[in-house]
Structure 1
Amino acid sequence: MSSTDGKQSDQIQLNLKHSFAEQLSDMAAFITPAKLPNPEWLVTSPEVAELLELPDSVFTDSQYLDWFSGNATLSNAKPLAQKYTGHQFGHYNPDLGDGRGLLLGELQTSSGHWDIHVKGAGQTPFSRFGDGRAVLRSSVREFLASEALFYLGIPTSRALGVFKTSEAIQRETTEQGAVLIRICQSHIRFGHFEYAFYQNNTELLETLVEYTHSHVLQLATDVHLTIQDKTLAMYKAVIRSTAELVAKWQAFGFCHGVMNTDNMSILSITFDFGPYGFLDEFDSKHICNHSDHSGRYAFDEQPGVALWNLNALGHALSPLLTKDQLSECLSQFEPTLVKAYSALMRQKLGLTQNDKGDQVLLGEWLTLLQQDKRDYTNSWRLLSNFDGNDDVFIDHFIDREAASKWLAKYKRRLLIEKDDTQTRLQKMRAVNPKYILRNYLAQQAIKTAEAGDNSELERLFEVLKMPFDEQPEFEQYAQTPPDWSKDLSISCSS
C-alpha cells in the first residue's frame, strides 16, 4: 500500500477500544487526521511497544507508520479530539481542547488500559489559530522527558516514538515537522471537569465522574455508592496522588514550567511537556519557562500551584460535594505532600532512623547548595559517594568553612544509623541519579537530529534509561553544564 493513497488498512490487527468516545461523546470532536507527508521514524521506544504488546514489526512495517501519520485508516479506529477548558496562569480560558492531538483509540493489554495519542496530527475544532502541527524540537523534548521521568520513577505519560515529516513548520523560525506518539492510561485532566462545570451541565459532570471513578482510577465500586460517594473517593485519590507526584518533582529537581489546570492529569502523571527543565545550579526560585514573567510556576511554587489547581478542580466538583467535604479533602494535601517529600529526602540523605534534627540538616544542606550555586544532581550524587574523604566533599564548595561545618553535623548524624557505609551509599545511589535530562543535552540531540544525524539522540536516550548507574563510558553526560547552556531560552512554544 502506498503511504499517500489514504486507503483503509486492515492488515494491522489492533483490538482498539473507544470508551471515551462511547461514554463522553459530548466532550469529543471526531476528526479525520491530516495526511502527513513522507513520515520517517526518528526515535522509538521498544520498551513502550512491548508495554503495548505491539508486534516487533511496529517500527519496520510501514503500515503502522501510515496509520500514525494519517495516510491510512483502520476500520475500527475512531480518531477524536477531546474538549476541555482550564485556568492558564490563573485565568480561566474556555477555548481549550486538543488543538493538535488526536486520540486514535485505546488498547487493553495485560499491563492495563492505554490511550494511543498522536500529538501533531493537524488542526481540530480546538486549534484556535494554530496549525495543529508539531515540530521536531518540541516532539523530541517531550519524548525524552517522558521516558527520562519514567526511568527515574516519577509518574508520567510515555512515548512510543517520534517520526519526522517533510513539512516545514513555521514557528519563531522555520522548523522540521514531526509527530509524537504519546501513551498513558487516560488523558482526562482537571480541565475536563472544569468544562462540564462552566457549561452548567451537571449531567455531563456526573457522567465524567462515573467514567473517571470506574474506568480511569478503577476505584472500588459498590451498587450502593451514590454519585457523591464516587466524587468524594475520586477527589481524595487525586489529591493524594497529586501531592505524591509533586513531592517527587521537588525531590528530583524537576520543574514542569506550565502547571495550568488543563495540563494537570487526573491520574497525577506528568504530561503536556513544554518549557520543563531539571535544576542545574540549585535555585529554589528557578523559573524554567521564559514566558512565565511573574514566576507563577517557579520551582518552589509548584506545591502551592498544585494545591491551587486542586482547589479549581474542587470548585468544578462543587455541584456534587458539600463545602465541608471539599475543605476536608483539601486539608489532606499538605500533610500528604510533606510526608512524601520528607521520606524521599531522608532516603536521598541516607537516613533510615528518625531524628528530630533531620529537617534542619536538610534545610542547611539545601541552603549550602543555593548560596554556592552548586549543581543539584551532582551534589546529591557526590553525597552518595561520601565514604569519609572530607577533602573531596569540601572541595566541591566555594564556602569551604560552611561545607566543613555541615559535613561535621552530617557525620555525627550518621552515627545513629545501623547500615554500614557501603550499604548506605548503595541505597543512596539508588535514589540520587547520576544522569538527568539537562536542557543542553536535549538541545545537542535536537540539533544533530535536525541535521539528519540521530545518533546523539539515540545515545542520550540509552543513557537516560539507566540514570542511577555509573555508566563510566558516558561520564560526559553527567558533567556540570557548560556556561553557554545558561543562555538557552525555553518558552511555552517549545
Structure 2
Amino acid sequence: MSTTTLHLEHRFADALPELAVDWQAEAAPGPTLLALDEELAADLGLDPAWLRSEEGLRLLTGERPPTGARPVAQGYAGHQFGGYSPRLGDGRALLLGELTDREGRLRDLHLKGSGRTPWSRGGDGLAVVGPMLREHLVSAAMHALGVPTTRSLGVVATGRAVQREQPLPGAVLARVASSHLRVGTLQYAAALDHQQPGTGLVRRVVEHAAARHHPHVLDAEVPALALLEEVTRIQAELVATWMSVGFVHGVMNTDNVTLSGETIDYGPCAFLDGFDQAAVFSSIDTGGRYAFGQQPAITQWNLARMAETLLPLVAEQAGLDQDGAVERCVAVLETFPTLYGEAYAARLAAKLGLPTGLDPEVRTALVGDLLTLMQAARVDHTGFFRDLARELRGTGGEQGTPARDRVLDLPAYDDWATRWRALGPDPDAMDAVNPAYVPRNHLLQAALDAADAGDLAPFERMLEVVTHPFEERPEWAAYALADPAGGPFVTYCGT
C-alpha cells in the first residue's frame, strides 16, 4: 500500500463546491504515532503496518495525501450557545476525502489540527496531544458502548510545540465519519442561497445527504420534509443513547449535530459519576445550557434551526405557502418528545432487565420513580445498574445490597425494588447493556497528563479497559469507581 495506490474520492467537494475550499495541511516537522485503531484501519482496507510507516504518518497528518485526492476545508455556520455564527467552517480541520470500507459504506477521512485554513478566524489551526488523545479514547469507548459516533483512526504527534497558556506538544487526529454534514452545513447553504438566489444549494445539500445516509428520502413526496423527519428520528435515538450511558456532550451547537446521526466533537464532554440532571462539566457552559438533563430539549431546539433552513424548499416541493411549510415542519418537530421518550424508556427498560411487551404505564412509572431515587442520592450512574444485577443474583458481597446502599430513601427504594423484582428482571440481560466501565473523568485526565509528559502507558491501559466495557475483570476494578475525591470536574474545549 502507498499513497499512489490508496484511492480517496472527493464526492463532497464535487457535489457542493460552494462549501469546499481546496487546501493543504501544514507539514509536521517530526511526526510520531501516538495511537492507532488497527481494527478500524482494517475495516477501511488500510494496512496498519503501512500507516505506521513514514509514508503512512504523512498521510495521517495530511502532508502527503494520496494521488488524485482533493483535500478541502468545509464551510458551515452554526448556533453556538444559542448565538448565531454565520461563518464557522473547518478552522483547523481538513477533509482528505472519502473511502469505501469493507462493508461498502462510504466514510470520510478527516483531519483535526492540521493547520490554518480560510475558516480559521485568527486561530492557529493547530491541536495539542491531550485533547486529541481524549477524542481518540472517548470515541472508541462510545463505539464499544454501541453509541453511533465518529471515530479516531489515529493520533500523530507533530513534533511542533503549540502555544496555549504554555507551550504544549502538537498533534493531529485522523477522524473517520459517515460524513461531516451537519445542521450547520444547511445553515450556511441557506445563507448562500439567500445571497445568490437560483443556486439551489440547500436542495443539493438535501440530495447529497439523502443519497449518502437516507436514500429513501429521495423517493418521498417532499424530500426536504422527509429528511427532517429522518434526522429528527435518529437524533432522538442518539440523545436517548447518550442519556442511557450518562454521557454529557458539553457543546451541542448546531454545527455539532450531524445529519448521519453520529456523535461528533468530544471537546468538553464527560461521563456522569453521580446521577444529576443538572450536571455540567464544560468550563464555558456557565449557564448550564448543555447540562445533562437539557440534552433532549436542546436537540429539539437544534432541529428547529434545521427546519428553518428547509422552509423555502419544503414550500416549493409541497406546493405550499410559507405558513403551510411552517405548519408541516412544526408537526415533524413536535414528534421529537415522543420519539425521544420512547427511545429513552426502551433503553432504561433494557438496563433494568425488563421483559419486552411490558405495559407502557407500568414501565414509565417504574423508570420515573427510579430516576427520582437516583437524583436524590446522586448515585453513581454506571455502578448503580451493575449493582442492581448483583442484588438480583445475590452476589453483592458482604454488603448484600450494593444498589440499595447507594440510595437515601430506603423505604422508597424497597417499594420500588419489590415492584421491579415482580416483573422478572434478567440480570444477564442487564449486564449485557450496562457497562462496568466508562471513561471516568479523573482517570482519563490523569492518563492525558501522563501522555503530555511522555508516558502513554496509563492512556493505553485505559483504552484497553473502555473498549471492553461489559467485560468485568478483577484487575480493572479501579476503572469502575467514581472519583473518590468527589467534587466538581471541569472540562475544556480542547484547543
TM-score computed with the length of structure 1 as normaliser: 0.92
1:198 corresponds, among 183, 191, 203, to 191
Measure the CA separation in 2 of the matches of 1:109 and 1:394: 44
Measure the CA separation in 1 of the matches of 2:255 and 2:184: 5
Unpaired runs of 5+ residues, structure 2, are: 315-324
- Deviation per residue, 1:390-435 (Å, 9 max, x gap): 85326753655x2354234323432243x6xxxx111001111110
- Deviation per residue, 1:264-307 (Å, 9 max, x gap): 11111100111001101111100121211111101111000000
Task: Report the 3-state secondary structure (helix = DSSP H, G, I; strand = E; otherwise coil) of the residue aligned with 1:307.
Answer: helix
Measure the CA separation in 2 of the matches of 1:233 and 1:346: 30
Amino acid in the other structure paired with 2:427: L
Task: Report the 3-state secondary structure (helix = DSSP H, G, I; strand = E; otherwise coil) of the residue aligned with 1:84.
Answer: coil
Task: Report the 3-state secondary structure (helix = DSSP H, G, I; strand = E; otherwise coil) of the residue aligned with 2:87.
Answer: strand
Task: Report the 3-state secondary structure (helix = DSSP H, G, I; strand = E; otherwise coil) of the residue aligned with 1:77.
Answer: coil
CA RMSD of aligned residues (A): 2.0
Task: Report the 3-state secondary structure (helix = DSSP H, G, I; strand = E; otherwise coil) of the residue aligned with 1:314.
Answer: helix
Q: How many residues align?
A: 475
Equivalent in the alignment of 2:207: 210
2:328 corresponds, among 317, 325, 330, to 325
Amino acid in the other structure paired with 2:259: I
Equivalent in the alignment of 1:359: 364
In the TM superposition, 1:42-441 aligns within 5 A as 42-111=34-103, 112-199=105-192, 200=194, 201=197, 203-219=200-216, 221-222=218-219, 229-321=222-314, 322-352=325-355, 354-355=358-359, 356-387=361-392, 389=394, 391-393=399-401, 397=405, 402-417=409-424, 424-441=426-443
Equivalent in the alignment of 1:444: 446
Task: Report the 3-state secondary structure (helix = DSSP H, G, I; strand = E; otherwise coil) of the residue aligned with 1:219.
Answer: helix
Moved more, 205-214 or 309-318: 205-214
- Deviation per residue, 1:85-109 (Å, 9 max, x gap): 0111111101200000000011012
Moved more, 404-413 or 363-372: 404-413
Query: Structure 1 residues 11, 244: CA separation in 2 closer, same or farther (over 3 Å shift)?
Result: closer
Moved more, 296-305 or 316-325: 316-325
Measure the CA separation in 2 of the matches of 1:98 and 1:440: 30
Give yes or no for contact 1:384–1:432 (8 Å, CA) kept in 2.
no
Give yes or no for contact 1:257–1:287 (8 Å, CA) kept in 2.
yes
Query: Structure 1 residues 67, 215: CA separation in 2 closer, same or farther (over 3 Å shift)?
Result: same
Measure the CA separation in 1 of the matches of 2:215 and 2:165: 43
Give yes or no for contact 2:77–2:87 (8 Å, CA) kept in 1.
yes
Task: Report the 3-state secondary structure (helix = DSSP H, G, I; strand = E; otherwise coil) of the residue aligned with 1:35.
Answer: coil
Measure the CA separation in 2 of the matches of 1:101 and 1:91: 22
Measure the CA separation in 1 of the matches of 2:403 and 2:7: 59
- Deviation per residue, 1:181-203 (Å, 9 max, x gap): 10011000000100111221561
1:172 is displaced (CA, Å) by: 2.6
Equivalent in the alignment of 1:6: none
Unpaired runs of 5+ residues, structure 1, are: 1-8
TM-score computed with the length of structure 2 as normaliser: 0.92
Measure the CA separation in 2 of the matches of 1:46 and 1:13: 19
Query: Structure 1 residues 71, 262: CA separation in 2 closer, same or farther (over 3 Å shift)?
Result: closer
Give yes or no for contact 2:387–2:403 (8 Å, CA) kept in 1.
no
1:220 is displaced (CA, Å) by: 5.5
Moved more, 379-388 or 391-400: 391-400
Equivalent in the alignment of 1:32: 24
Measure the CA separation in 2 of the matches of 1:240 and 1:125: 34
1:478 is displaced (CA, Å) by: 0.6
- Deviation per residue, 1:117-154 (Å, 9 max, x gap): 01000000000011000011110111111111110011
Task: Report the 3-state secondary structure (helix = DSSP H, G, I; strand = E; otherwise coil) of the residue aligned with 1:168.
Answer: strand
Measure the CA separation in 2 of the matches of 1:412 and 1:220: 44
Aligned-residue identity in percent: 38
Give yes or no for contact 1:374–1:397 (8 Å, CA) kept in 2.
no
Equivalent in the alignment of 2:493: 492
1:360 is displaced (CA, Å) by: 2.6
1:259 is displaced (CA, Å) by: 0.4
Measure the CA separation in 1 of the matches of 2:62 and 2:232: 38
Query: Structure 1 residues 399, 233: CA separation in 2 closer, same or farther (over 3 Å shift)?
Result: closer
Give yes or no for contact 2:388–2:403 (8 Å, CA) kept in 1.
no
Moved more, 467-476 or 18-27: 467-476
Amino acid in the other structure paired with 2:345: S
Measure the CA separation in 1 of the matches of 2:2 and 2:43: 22
